[in-house]
Structure 1
């Protein structure tokens, strides 16, 4: 991993735990996978830059938690050596004008409606989910099944299975299955540190969508985190719009999450 920048900026709590999760994801990834997939991560100024060219997801090819132009220069230089699509994620509403000027000068272009960032406090009593779907934690022996299901649910290439399999059973991580009649049909993950938790990895096998699996997994992770002393939970999902509703966003709102801001996705120009 590259050495962090000496500079530092104030990063919101909601971003810090997400940054920590992805740095840890890199740290625990199998070395053979890191080498073969050219997986890289650089902590910088309280945020990070992460690159996995074979992954179609923005989340694995982005700069996160960095807004100061001098730090963005370093992140941009680092990203320029990486292949694939690359993005800067930022809350445009709170970024200083000089950062917006930097984005224009560098030729970054906003794409889509952005990502909604949501937060809630820990439940005061355990949540009870009723329905046909049950949840349980993933056993270490089931790590490959978990990883392959995540890839299938997110339409990731199968060669990313070792990455997601690696988080099962690791310190800080809690991985869950949602099951229907004893068959795993959906996945969910949580990374917790310092009283905060980031929720991710919520994917459902396509033929079992709309059966309540993700609502059950949200409750399971909130209960697990609360039992570990987590006080604040954060998560992100695609920003819904009139022409593109998002059931994940709706599930999170029903579960007590509140949207606190929208983070835009600015794509680096090819060749930068």
Structure 2
């Protein structure tokens, strides 16, 4: 029986597909060395990378059916790290809330999902920062900048570097006066696109890099026939402004729903 009769939203599905594909194209020796694993389940997946500090690489997402959630949960319990289950708030019917309690999950923040249609025409290039498609030669700096921006250990740089040049992926580097200062990635499938990996070196923040990276991905997606774009960020609060959320809404993205994070007990 389904815990919720709600369909899994397309913006949730394209995100899960991006992580499943990331795991598929990451070289096996590297995956083995850092214990990076991913299990596709239904429309979603469970993904584990214990040394990554971010929720995004240690979670269950895009599932709301009891059997699928239980399958993913049992798999995730065998992993280490700060593991989470992400649940779309509007899908949290009483039966699902009971499941959360039964598993001993603890609420640990929330993300907001945002979407927007493709622009009607290419967006103009403004400001001193330029974002360009990354080529194979850029793979090392792309991995280095992405890990540094997210506070990941340097050993995880190949996780991002291996995305360069792969089918379905478009990776960008933001530059200021010739210096690489930020990165952004995009996964495309069947007219949908997921934006991820957007980060800027600490010393170059608030210079316009994220705006340039967002617009560059929208323009590339438009050129590749994308009709709808999705992205997520930490849910903003009055006492904790979210620059990422502000940049995305200025770029035409609108909140779609809130997804809560539930931490697995140790």
**Shared fold by TM > 0.5?**
yes
2:157 is the alignment partner of 1:168: no
**Structure 1 segment 73-84 matched on structure 2, within 5 A:** 73-84=70-81
2:155 is the alignment partner of 1:159: yes
Q: Distance in 2 between matches of 1:38 and 1:234?
A: 28
Q: Distance in 2 between matches of 1:91 and 1:209?
A: 31
2:178 is the alignment partner of 1:182: yes
Structure 1 residue aligned with 2:250? 254
Q: Distance in 2 between matches of 1:103 and 1:68?
A: 13
Q: Distance in 2 between matches of 1:126 and 1:34?
A: 37
Over residues 151-202 of structure 1, what are the superposed CA-to-partner deviations in whole Å (9 max), with x where a residue is unaligned?
A: 0000000000011000000000001111001111010110000000000110
2:9 is the alignment partner of 1:15: no
State which of 6, 28, 46 in structure 2 corresponds to 1:49: 46
Give TM-score scaled by structure 2 length: 0.96
Q: CA deviation at 1:129?
A: 2.9
**Mapped contact 2:107–2:260 kept (Cα < 8 A):** yes
Q: Which structure 2 segments of 5+ residues have no match?
A: none
Q: Which structure 1 segments of 5+ residues have no match?
A: 1-7
**Mapped contact 2:186–2:195 kept (Cα < 8 A):** yes
Q: Distance in 1 between matches of 2:8 and 2:236?
A: 25
**Mapped contact 2:174–2:180 kept (Cα < 8 A):** yes
Over residues 84-109 of structure 1, what are the superposed CA-to-partner deviations in whole Å (9 max), with x where a residue is unaligned?
A: 11100111222332111000111101
4+ long deviations beyond 6 Å: none
Give TM-score scaled by structure 1 length: 0.94
**Mapped contact 2:64–2:91 kept (Cα < 8 A):** no
Report the number of matched residues: 262
